[in-house]
Chains A and B, each alone.
Chain A
């Protein structure tokens, strides 16, 4: 039986890199006695797949990992059992049962919502005004940028990959393209704006939190054709 786990990563957990988070959850499964399924072969590994790696230094309210468990596994108590053995900063938020034919979270990922605020001590004179300017910049129809990739550089239109960006007081919330098709990070969104103003971005200027990871609604259209991975899991049932 397939299960989708939503978890948050707060406080000191933001310093734990993606590979270590994977190892951490493998150990959580054993500590919490989750009847997780193993692959075959001489050194079996747990059937587990993470949705979208999160950069070191970023906190999150909505990370996802899919696992496969034995049918006998009592889902009702899973969340509680896991949370009893969590390390500081990690918490399971929800457990969703997936239909057997569900595709894994990783291939569903299409977008993610981030919230950014200035780190105390790094605020400009008028943070609200600054956020408004950022919002206006992303109100443009097209923003051509060059993105560094593993193979070199490529040109793309950033405006079409920033699905939402709105200033909220002294912070900003953005929904941006994520996953295998076009993976955009908040840093890139900020950099394009800074460049347009001819300014350098201090790498520590912002506190960044990922709030949700989305998949595309099958056949969905309109300005926001996305649903959180948690809900996307549900709607298959």
Chain B
């Protein structure tokens, strides 16, 4: 039996002790003393969320295939344990060996959402690792950041030794080899970082200096030593069938958010929605082969014993062999007690037919993401879903027996007018009307239920909207109230429901998303005053953050509501994410003219991702 880091007295007095004991099915066991490199892989949120993340499982599997690395996991202790660990000075530990993180060679932290940044500091703090990279001695782990938020790493620059920009499967091997060589040669920490800085995709923030104009915008961003590259080009896998996927995912004891086999069918997206960061930074779209997926579906179900399999991608309907894949999954596994959960597919005859086969129509609902309430605004954001698509799709679904529809919208999009905002209620009303028009009274099973939800728009780096002015909290709330009021005026308002997200949280997300190095001090000040688990609304405290801005002498509006000129140097401009700034500018200007851009398969928009020489850019050209 492994020895646990926490005694029974603690484990039996906190919620869900299984979060901290490891020992799950398919956990990797190695003798820590016999491996030269120990890597702690971290998702800075509670276990239940972190264990649901596919990327970490892929990297865990990848690292542990190497005999010279032992990769273990660590998550944020929930607030109950967090308090106990601080009081008793218990160092944060990895789940596998239960050894303190500070004794590891590496601590890799995935950055999936901006509001996890105070939890990054929690992880460092509880691990008893100095928060600032500059203060870390030779015996401290090298702290690496990765994931989508690493595409603007600047707010976290002070806290990380290096960032890995892009997909993890490509240069980690090289990075680990350099580390081993350096260790063997008794090299120092800084010598390793100098080596690392020369590897493609690796960014060492300490090797760059930033200067600012008087108005607070960036004047220059320059390397301060020869080993540091001018520009960091993102790493990506060009042939997804040539890299290992997971064979044996970890199976948690407790019910986590994603309690199923996840089959990643493709990366990237052809659609080019102008608000979407994932759709831009993961270009070009690359598919996995059908045989590869069939093979892995069977292996993953067998090795985990999960009763559900789900597909993962940004837009599954664009997967070229979707019909064959889904038919295979149904024929192969449906009779064996395995549920097939389909991601939001475009609603058409095919998707309704398969949904009918795999879901209980009475219990499930249909989802549409129009994102904006009017066709005009949908053109601005380049969301190629028309009102006709939605109403025709809804009509066929109603005939198929469904009577619940979910609609997703955003408020605060660029150029938004009152008509666009009210359009959310009008479109929802039309969906309800479609039900009553299409389905005769005697065939109806009760009322139709249309649930519309709106989130608030956050401009993100590497999107055409990176220049956009973000709304203030007050504007957001006012807009949500307009929608709510309009819903009340609708004839079918008893069949309609409207939900909206918290505005306070969104505003801060906006600061982190487009923040520069100076924002790091705000994060640290907020953390010191108790900010943690900010993405959990029950723990988010706006006042702590407002105080932190004041203490650091920074203006929140500078990062959110300020108008940015096309010439401005952005904090993330030193990263080459594939999509060129010229392309993004072009798209921003087209958006202002309400002009749409066709998807990658219809016509190449010249985004710049062609230079990676693969994926959708070369589809049908071999």
Contact of A30 among B1, B12, B27, B301 (CB under 8 A): B301
CB neighbours (8 Å) of A89 from chain B are 1, 23
Taking the nearest CB of chain B, how far is it from the CB of A128, in angstroms?
23
- The interface-forming segment of B3-11, B59-67, B286-294, B538-546 is B3-11
User: Would A27 and B304 be within 8 Å (CB), given that A57-B12, A87-B24, A89-B23 are in contact?
Assistant: yes
Task: Report whether A20 and B8 are in contact in the complex, using a CB–CB cutoff of 8 Å.
Answer: no
A31 at the interface (CB under 8 A from B): yes
- The interface-forming segment of A36-44, A92-100, A148-156, A228-236 is A36-44
Task: Report whether A87 and B25 are in contact in the complex, using a CB–CB cutoff of 8 Å.
Answer: yes
What is the CA–CA distance of A159 and B537 in the complex, to the nearest angstrom? 51
CB neighbours (8 Å) of B11 from chain A are 15
Task: Report whether B303 and A31 are in contact in the complex, using a CB–CB cutoff of 8 Å.
Answer: yes
What is the CA–CA distance of A29 and B303 in the complex, to the nearest angstrom? 11
- The interface-forming segment of B234-242, B248-256, B277-285, B389-397 is B248-256
Chain B at the A interface: mostly helix, strand, loop or mixed?
Answer: loop
What is the CA–CA distance of A20 and B47 in the complex, to the nearest angstrom? 15
What is the CA–CA distance of A57 and B339 in the complex, to the nearest angstrom? 33
Contact of B12 among A13, A56, A86, A87 (CB under 8 A): A56
- A residues 1-40 touching B (CB-CB < 8 Å): 10-13, 15-17, 20, 23-24, 26-31, 33, 38
CB neighbours (8 Å) of A30 from chain B are 301-302, 305-307, 337
**How many of chain A's residues have a CB under 8 angstroms from any CB in B?**
33
What is the CA–CA distance of A46 and B22 in the complex, to the nearest angstrom? 27
Taking the nearest CB of chain A, how far is it from the CB of B493, in angstroms?
32
Task: Report whether A85 and B301 are in contact in the complex, using a CB–CB cutoff of 8 Å.
Answer: no
CB neighbours (8 Å) of A27 from chain B are 25, 251, 304-307
Minimal Cβ-Cβ distance residue in B for A86: B25
B360 at the interface (CB under 8 A from A): yes
What is the CA–CA distance of A210 and B328 in the complex, to the nearest angstrom? 46
What is the CA–CA distance of A46 and B11 in the complex, to the nearest angstrom? 31
Task: Report whether B307 and A26 are in contact in the complex, using a CB–CB cutoff of 8 Å.
Answer: yes
CB neighbours (8 Å) of A15 from chain B are 11-12, 17-18, 21
Task: Report whether A31 and B304 are in contact in the complex, using a CB–CB cutoff of 8 Å.
Answer: yes
B418 at the interface (CB under 8 A from A): no
Contact of B25 among A31, A56, A57, A204 (CB under 8 A): A31
Contact of B4 among A12, A38, A42, A57 (CB under 8 A): A12
CB neighbours (8 Å) of A10 from chain B are 1
CB neighbours (8 Å) of A11 from chain B are 1-2, 23
CB neighbours (8 Å) of B306 from chain A are 27, 30
What is the CA–CA distance of A27 and B303 in the complex, to the nearest angstrom? 10
**How many of chain B's residues have a CB under 8 angstroms from any CB in A?**
29
What is the CA–CA distance of A89 and B18 in the complex, to the nearest angstrom? 13
Task: Report whether A204 and B254 are in contact in the complex, using a CB–CB cutoff of 8 Å.
Answer: no
A88 at the interface (CB under 8 A from B): yes
What is the CA–CA distance of A23 and B254 in the complex, to the nearest angstrom? 9
What is the CA–CA distance of A156 and B438 in the complex, to the nearest angstrom? 64
Contact of B253 among A16, A46, A57 (CB under 8 A): A16
A201 at the interface (CB under 8 A from B): no
What is the CA–CA distance of A108 and B542 in the complex, to the nearest angstrom? 56
CB neighbours (8 Å) of A57 from chain B are 8, 12
A119 at the interface (CB under 8 A from B): yes
Q: Digit string of B539-564 for contact with A (CB within 8 Å is 1, else 0)?
A: 00000000000000000000000000
CB neighbours (8 Å) of B9 from chain A are 204
Task: Report whether B254 and A20 are in contact in the complex, using a CB–CB cutoff of 8 Å.
Answer: yes
Task: Report whether A44 and B337 are in contact in the complex, using a CB–CB cutoff of 8 Å.
Answer: yes
CB neighbours (8 Å) of A38 from chain B are 337
CB neighbours (8 Å) of B253 from chain A are 16, 20, 23-24, 87
- B residues 448-476 touching A (CB-CB < 8 Å): none
Known: A31-B304, A88-B27. 16 other contacts (CB 8 A): A15-B18, A16-B18, A23-B253, A27-B307, A28-B305, A30-B301, A30-B337, A33-B302, A43-B360, A57-B8, A57-B12, A86-B25, A87-B25, A87-B27, A88-B2, A203-B12
Q: Which residues of B contact A (CB under 8 A)?
A: 1-2, 4, 8-9, 11-12, 17-18, 21-25, 27, 251, 253-255, 301-307, 337, 339, 360
4 cross-chain pairs, A with B, having the tightest CB-CB distances, nearest first: A27-B305, A88-B23, A30-B305, A31-B305
22 chain-A/chain-B pairs, Cβ below 8 angstroms: A10-B1, A11-B23, A12-B21, A12-B22, A12-B23, A16-B253, A17-B18, A20-B253, A27-B25, A28-B305, A29-B305, A30-B301, A30-B305, A30-B306, A33-B302, A43-B360, A85-B305, A87-B24, A87-B25, A88-B2, A89-B1, A204-B8
